[in-house]
Structures are given as C-alpha cells and as structure tokens.
Chain A
Amino acid sequence: MTDAIDGDWTPDRPIVSLMDVRKSFGDLEVLKGISFDVMKGEVICIIGPSGSGKSTLIRCINALNPIDSGSITVEGQEVNDPRLDKLELRKKVGMVFQQYNLFPHKTALENVMMAPVLVLKQDKASVERRARALVRKVRLEGKEDSFPGELSGGQQQRVAIARSLAMQPDIMLFDEVTAALDPETVKEVLVTIRELAEEGMTCMLVTHEMGFAREIADHIYFTDRGVIVEHGPPATFFDEAQDPRTQEFLSQIL
C-alpha cells in the first residue's frame, strides 16, 4: 500500500500515516500497534499518563527512534525503511523538545540560521532575513544576539520553535514543550503554537495542557501503555469519554 503512494503523495491523502507501529526497548514493549492518520493542516494532540509511550511515538515519526514493525509514512515516504533519506524526512518534519535543546554556543539568531545554511546550503543573507522575520514572529525582536543562557525558558522555547520553522517544514512535532516552563511563560509559547496552527501548519502535540488541547486540537488521542485507548474530536472526547482508563485520567488531570 505504501509503495503505491510512494513519491506521488497528494494533499488529499494523510500527510502522516501510522499503521500498526510497534516498538520495544529491550524487553519493554512501549508501542503495541499504533495506527492513525493525520491530514494536512490538522492539529492533533496526544495525551496520556507518564510512560505511556507518547514521546517514543513522536520521536519515531522523524526517525529519532527506529521502529520494530509496522509502517509510518510522511507525505507518502516510508520512515521504516533502511534506505530512508533522513535528510529528506527532516526537511519535512520539524521537532520541538521539552528541554528546548538550543545550541548554547550560538546566539538566538544563529540558532535559527544554522540548519538552513549548513544543511540546506541556502544563501546566508536570505536565510538571515527569514530568520529575523521568524524571531519577530515568535515575538523576540531585540533578543537576536542573546545566547540561550541569557534567555528565560519561555523565550528559549520560542527560539526553538523559530529554529524548527526556519527549515520550512510541513509538519511540526511538539513534545510537551511547555512542561518545563512556569505557568506565566506557558502562555507565550502556547500563543505561538496557536498562531502556527491557525496558519494551517500540520501539528502533532504531546501535551498535558488539557484546556489548550481542547481549544486547538481537531482530534485527540489518548494513549495508555502503548495503545490508543480512545480518540475523538475534543468535544466528544472530553465530555463523552467511554473507556474507564480515559475517565480516570481525565478526572485526575482536569
């Protein structure tokens, strides 16, 4: 099936498609057959208890973790393929991490410019123009020349988002990007993500911010112990959860 769409993906097909994805670390099976599709421009949220495999799932999508079996396609390209061109994949998929993971020896602007210049070999002057615009977009004008160590957590996270966007990805992955922030700064990061979503960026978020998920997501997936227990659009998901595990999780977190 993947061969049929390989190379000639069109936007009416899922931009990301997971089929029976399985992944173990040693004896521990972390993903036990995950399947779902994401359409272009969709925003999906993955929620679930700690250790249920959310980070692993999201990392598999841009091949930071290899999977054991099943299939993940991104714009028709099979990720679970030894011949995978990782660079091609990572041009399409941007990722933002919980701990920001900025390059501490580079200024905010340099962090944003680095990959397009180095990896995409784009012209430095035009990359800089775009990078400055991105820094403005995440509302950090004036901080271009600051080093990550001189920025607050929320500011660093917005630099990280700008850094990802500089590669002009089609899909953005966010793994609990506000979990390390204090409540004050959570908002500024969420505002940035919401704007992205409104512009039509395909977003996959792992989050514990239920209010935000409810407001922004087109679809919510609840994972527990490596399976998707329940999923649905936010209204149905939050108000009419069927499975007792979902109900228990929601009652604890809401």
Chain B
Amino acid sequence: MWDSIQKYFLDLAERDPTWNFIYIYDDKELERVLDGIWVTLELAVVCVLFSVAIGIVGAWLQGARSRLVQIVVQGYIQFFRNTPPLVQLLFFYFALGQFTPTFSPDGYLQQPIISNVGWAIISLSFFAGAFNIEIFRAGIEAVPQSTQEAAESLGMNRFQAYVYIVLPLAFRVSLPSLNNNLVNLVKTTTQALAIAVPELLYQLVSIYNDYSTSQNACMVLMFVVYITLVGVLVLGMNRWERRMQIPGYGG
C-alpha cells in the first residue's frame, strides 16, 4: 500500500517537476518531516501549558498587595506585548544566551545549558503568557466582588477563594480569548526557525533548499499540518467550553 503511494508520487515528480513530493517517496526526507512535526507539536504543547500557567500565576500576582510585585508584572506584560515575538526570540537566544553557563557532555565541546529549543520555549511561553495574564485578569474582574465576599464570609482565605471560586468562574469568561491567543501561539512557533529550532518549517525550508522542485509540495504540507494542528486545538477548546457551561448561567 505505502509502496504504491510512494511509487505514485515518484512518478508524479518525474512527470511534473513542480510537484515533487520528495518527503513522501524519499525515506530520509520523510524522517526529517516527521521529526519536524514532532518538534512543532512539542513546542506547541509545552508553550501552551507554560503560557497558561504564567497567565494564572501572573493574574494572581497582579492582585497582590505589594506595589512592587504589581509593577514588575505590569512591566513584564508591557515588554512582551509591545515587542515583536521574533525580536524577543532573537534577543533571548543571542543576547541572553551568551550569559548562560555552559556544560560539556563529552569533555571536549562546550554546550550552553539552555538549548535553542529551550530558548524558543521560554521566549514563546513568556510572549503568550503576557497576553494570558491580561485575558485571565479580565475574566477575574468579571467575577463579582460579592461572590468573593461570600467565600470570605464562609471562612475561605484568599488562596482558597481564588482556586475554588474565582478561577473556575474567570476561566469560563476567559475561554474565548484564551482560545484566540493559543491559536496565535501555535502559529508563532514557526518563528523558532530563526534560531534554527528544527521544527516543521525549518525542516521544510531545508528540504526545498536542497531540492528546489519540492517547494510547492513543502508549502502544501505546511498548510495541511497547521490547519490540522490548529483545527484540533480549536475543536478541543470549543468542546471544553461547552462542557464547562453552567446550566442557567451566562450566555
């Protein structure tokens, strides 16, 4: 079965060189593509989780009494929201990367402790996290003060009220905006290309640099993978949104 598919695309490439699906009939290129998809998935999932965690903690810190904490969080948000993510990525990798310690696994070569994948995860998570803080804060502000007071009057402390009352309600309000931001984040992972993270776009660009006739085929794959990836994310989020709906509450 697979053999005949490979054979079909090999024939197609010979007949019409503008459609050279090399990554289908050439096992070596296929492996590069699969590696690329794997790294893209890894980046997307890890960054989504980290950025949501940053959002939750950041929104909590924004409500802290300490003026200093508030200013630090606000500064962080302004910095990451108002500068391009590509520039952030380059800054993290090339500027901060110089100052991180190195280690030597084989005793000869020195390797930085944080790899380019590590920097991409840090940079992208902070980028999306800044937006998530704002998104969650808007959700938290939508929870009436009186609901928190009720929790307080039942003896809950600020942390309990946040975790069990405010967050679950704020989350529901935030989901549509969170959805948008996470879609954006998944798409932005392609920029990790700039610091040579071997994700899908990086792999495809190197493939069509090696085999220029495969350019169209590479583009097609790029769109197919991202439409699928974002589609699954959106579907999952919508499902979650529906499951979180409370009977008789909200829209």
Contact = CB atoms under 8 A, between A and B. Distances in A.
A147 B147 contact: no
A91 B246 contact: no
A109 to B, nearest CB: 14
**Dominant SS among interface residues on chain B:** helix
Interface of A: 62, 64, 86-87, 90-91, 93-95, 97, 99, 101-105, 114-115, 118-120, 146-151, 160, 163-164, 167
B172 A119 contact: no
Contacts of B168: 105
A115 B156 contact: yes
Contacts of A114: 154, 164
The 4 A-B pairs of least Cβ separation, nearest first, read: A149-B248, A101-B150, A115-B154, A90-B155
Contacts of A119: 154-156, 160
B156 A101 contact: no
Interface of B: 144, 146-147, 149-157, 160, 164-165, 168-169, 172, 246-249
A119 B158 CA distance: 12
A95 B153 contact: yes
A65 B35 CA distance: 59
A151 B247 CA distance: 10
B169 A64 contact: no
B156 A103 contact: no
B246 A105 contact: yes
Contacts of A149: 246-249
A97 B153 CA distance: 10
Contacts, number: 72
A99 B41 CA distance: 47
A101 B249 contact: no
B155 to A, nearest CB: 4
A62 B149 CA distance: 11
Contacts of B249: 104-105, 147-149
Contact of A87 (B144, B147, B157, B164): B157
A158 B50 CA distance: 42
A104 B245 CA distance: 11
A90 B153 contact: yes
Contacts of B150: 95, 97, 101-103, 160
A167 B247 contact: no
Contact of A104 (B152, B153, B157, B169): B169
A103 B153 contact: no
Contacts of B247: 146-147, 149-150
A65 to B, nearest CB: 10
Contacts of A164: 154
A97 B156 CA distance: 16
Contact of B248 (A87, A150, A167): A150
Nearest to B171: A105
A64 B150 CA distance: 10
B153 A118 contact: no
Nearest to A120: B155
Contact of A103 (B147, B152, B248): B147
Given A104-B249, A105-B172, A167 B154 contact: yes
A93 B153 CA distance: 8
A87 B155 contact: yes
Nearest to A101: B150
B146 to A, nearest CB: 5
A104 B155 contact: no
A220 B157 CA distance: 34
24 contacts: A64-B149, A90-B152, A90-B155, A95-B150, A97-B150, A101-B144, A101-B150, A103-B151, A104-B147, A104-B169, A115-B156, A118-B160, A118-B164, A119-B154, A119-B156, A147-B246, A147-B249, A148-B248, A148-B249, A149-B247, A149-B249, A160-B150, A163-B154, A164-B154
